[in-house]
Amino acid sequence: MVQRLEVLRGEIDKLLMDEKPKDGRYLNLHLYGTSSFCALLAVRRGLDGELAAAAGMLHDVSKIASDDWENHAVKSAKIAGEMLGALGLWNEDEILLIADAISRHTDKEDVHEPFDELLKDADVMAHSFYNPDYFCGNGFPDIKGIEKRYQGVLAELGCEWRD
């Protein structure tokens, strides 16, 4: 049996090695962290863990080859769809689900489909657990909806918010 997620991770690892992005260490940790949080939240919410983990691995894929953050969600969704299609291991519905979630992952204020929300929440958790002080006065005050989302996921997981 082909382990689709491992094949995908191999492709991401190859890209990271070949492209050597400026923030490669952080990006590597962030993609794997988001993927892991996606899998955890998928189990909690009754969603497909493998598809969720794949979305987490790909959600910032456009940043590997470019330091350009502008419209990176849409750019990453396009690259993700192309990568998954080229690998030939995912069907069209799965690719669309993953790409749609990726395209919306930066819209932290609005509520979309459950799979989209899972990716947004996992992204926030990966950022916050990379640096536990992220939302204690040193975070990204210019990104709306993040602190509320972070508090909500902590509560969902039975953790307490700390100031």
Give the chain's domains with CATH numbers: 4-156 (1.10.3210.10)
**Mean pLDDT rounded to a whole number for the chain:** 90
Please say if the pLDDT value at position 63 is more than 60.
Answer: yes
Name the most confidently modeled range: 23-27, 61-65, 102-106: 102-106
Q: What is the CA radius of gyration of the chain?
A: 15
Tell me the HSE value of 47 on the side-chain side, using a 13 A CA sphere: 22
Indicate the burial class of 98 (C-beta count within 10 angstroms; 0-12, 13-18, 19 or more). buried
pLDDT at 163: 60
Q: Between 15 and 23, where is the model more confident?
A: 15
pLDDT at 131: 76
pLDDT at 136: 52
Please say if the pLDDT value at position 36 is more than 70.
Answer: yes
Collapse the DSSP code of 130 into the 3-class scheme (helix H, G, I; strand E, B; otherwise coil) and give the result: helix
Q: Out of 25-29, 76-80, 122-126, 136-140, which region has the weakest mean confidence (pLDDT)?
A: 136-140
User: What are the tokens at 113?
Assistant: 């489909």
pLDDT at 147: 79
Residue 31 to residues 6, 63, 79, 136, Cα–Cα distance (Å):
14, 11, 15, 23
pTM: 0.92
